[in-house]
Chain A
Amino acid sequence: MGILNKILTAFRGGATEIGQNIVDANATRIFEQEIRDAEKHLTKAKRELTDVMAKEMQAAREIERLKRTIAEHEGYATQALEKHNEALALEVAQKIAELEQQLEEQQTANASFSDHAARLKDLVKKTERQLADYQRQLSMVKTTESVQKATASITDSFASSNSKLLNAKDSLERIKARQQQFDDRLKAAEELETENSDKSLKAKLAEAGIGEQKTSANDVLERLKAKKGS
C-alpha cells in the first residue's frame, strides 16, 4: 500500500486527533532505514559499475592491441612466404594462432564485462528511482505530521489566547468595513485638502484685487460723501 493511500485511509479512519500520528514513529524509522539501505546499495552498485566499466575499457584496449599485432604478424608471414622462407612463415603463423586464441579470450571477457555493466546500469537506475520514490513518500509523511503538529500549535494558541477563528463571512465583513472606513477617511481628507486649497486661492485673488471684493468702512464713507454732495 502506498503512503498516499495510508495517509488517506488514516484520515478517513479519523486518525487526525492531536497526537495521533498518521504513520507511527516506528514505521517512519523503519522507512528511513530502508532509504539508508537503498542508498548503500546504490553507492555499492555505482562503485561496482565503475570497476566493471574500467575492466571493459581495458579489455577493449587489449583487443585493439591484439588485432594490431595479428595484422602485423600476418604481414610478417606474407613477407616470409614471398621470400620462400616456409619455416619462418610457419613459426609466425603459430604466433598468429596464439594471438588469435588470446583475442578470442579477451573478446569473451569483454562481452561478459559489457553484459555486467549493462545489468549494473539497470540496477543503478532502478535503485535511484526507488530511492527518489521512498524520499517522496517520506517527505509526504513528514509534511503531514508537521502540518498536524502545526495545526495543533495554532489551535492551542487560539484556545489559550481566548480568541477564536471567526466565522468566514463575519471576518470578511469586518475587514471590508475597516477598509471602507479607511477609504472614507482618505476621501474626507482629500475633500478637506481641496477645500483648503480653494480657500487659499480665493484669498490670493482678493489680495490681488480680483473677483468679489469686500466692502470696507472707507468705501461706505466715500459712498455716503458722494450721496451728500449730490
Chain B
Amino acid sequence: MNIHTIANHLNGLGDNSSTGQRFDCYPIDGDVEVLQVNVVGREEIPIFVSATENQILCISYLWGEDEVVQESRTEMFETMLGLNIPMPLSSFAKIDDKYVLFGALSLDASMLEIEQELSVLSDNCLEVIDEMADYLK
C-alpha cells in the first residue's frame, strides 16, 4: 500500500464514496511522501496521510499551542484524555507545537477502511473543535 494507490482510489470515487464524502488528494513532496486529502466542503481542515514501514498514518492538525487559552490548558488535556477512548477511530496527539487528531491503519487495510477512517477523522475534527472551542482563543 502506498499513498499513490490511495490517492488514485479516492480521486476516482467522485460521488460514489461509501461515506457520502468527496475527497480531493494532492501528493506533497518531501523526504517522506505525504498525501494531503481534502474532504470537499471542509478544505480548511485537511487530512495528511503517510505510509511508514508498518502502518498508514492519517493526521489532521487541530490547533496550535498559541491558540490555547493558557489558563484552561490542564482542563483541555483532561478533556482530551477523557475523549480519547469514546472518540471512534481517532486519538489526540501533539506534533511540535500543534495539537492533532490521528488514526493509524494497518498496511493491509482495505480502501473501504481507509475511506471510513478519513471520513470519521474529519467528522471527529469538526466535533472536537466545536466541543473544545472554550479552551481556544
Residues of A within 8 A of B (CB): 16, 139, 142-143, 146-147, 149-154, 156-157, 165-172, 174-175, 178-179, 182
Q: In the assembly, what is the distance between CA of A172 and CA of B126, in Å?
A: 7
A-contact bits for B19-63, CB 8 A (1 contact / 0 none) = 000000000111111101000011011001010111101010111
Q: In the assembly, what is the distance between CA of A186 and CA of B112, in Å?
A: 28
Given A146, A172, A179, which contacts B129 in the complex, CB threshold below 8 Å?
A: A172
In the complex, B130 has a CB within 8 A of chain A: yes
In the assembled complex, which residues on chain A have CB atoms less than 8 Å from the CB atom of B129? 168-169, 171-172
Residue of A nearest to B28 (CB): A157
Are the C-beta atoms of B62 and A139 separated by less than 8 Å? no
Are the C-beta atoms of A151 and B95 separated by less than 8 Å? yes
The 5 A-B residue pairs with the shortest CB-CB distance in the complex, in nearest-first order: A153-B30, A171-B44, A168-B63, A149-B32, A149-B31
Q: Classify the interface of chain B: helix, strand, loop or mixed.
A: mixed
Are the C-beta atoms of B55 and A150 separated by less than 8 Å? no
Are the C-beta atoms of A16 and B96 separated by less than 8 Å? yes
How many interface residues does B have (CB within 8 Å)? 34
In the assembled complex, which residues on chain A have CB atoms less than 8 Å from the CB atom of B54? 139, 143
Given B32, B57, B62, which contacts A168 in the complex, CB threshold below 8 Å?
A: B62
The answer to whether A142 and B133 touch (CB under 8 A), given A147-B95, A153-B31, is no
Are the C-beta atoms of A142 and B53 separated by less than 8 Å? yes
Are the C-beta atoms of B126 and A167 separated by less than 8 Å? no
Q: Can you give 15 A-B contacts (C-beta < 8 A)?
A: A146-B50, A146-B52, A147-B57, A150-B32, A157-B29, A165-B61, A166-B44, A167-B63, A168-B62, A168-B129, A171-B45, A172-B129, A172-B130, A175-B41, A175-B45
Q: In the assembly, what is the distance between CA of A143 and CA of B32, in Å?
A: 11
Q: In the assembly, what is the distance between CA of A178 and CA of B30, in Å?
A: 32
Q: In the assembly, what is the distance between CA of A156 and CA of B32, in Å?
A: 12
Are the C-beta atoms of A149 and B133 separated by less than 8 Å? no
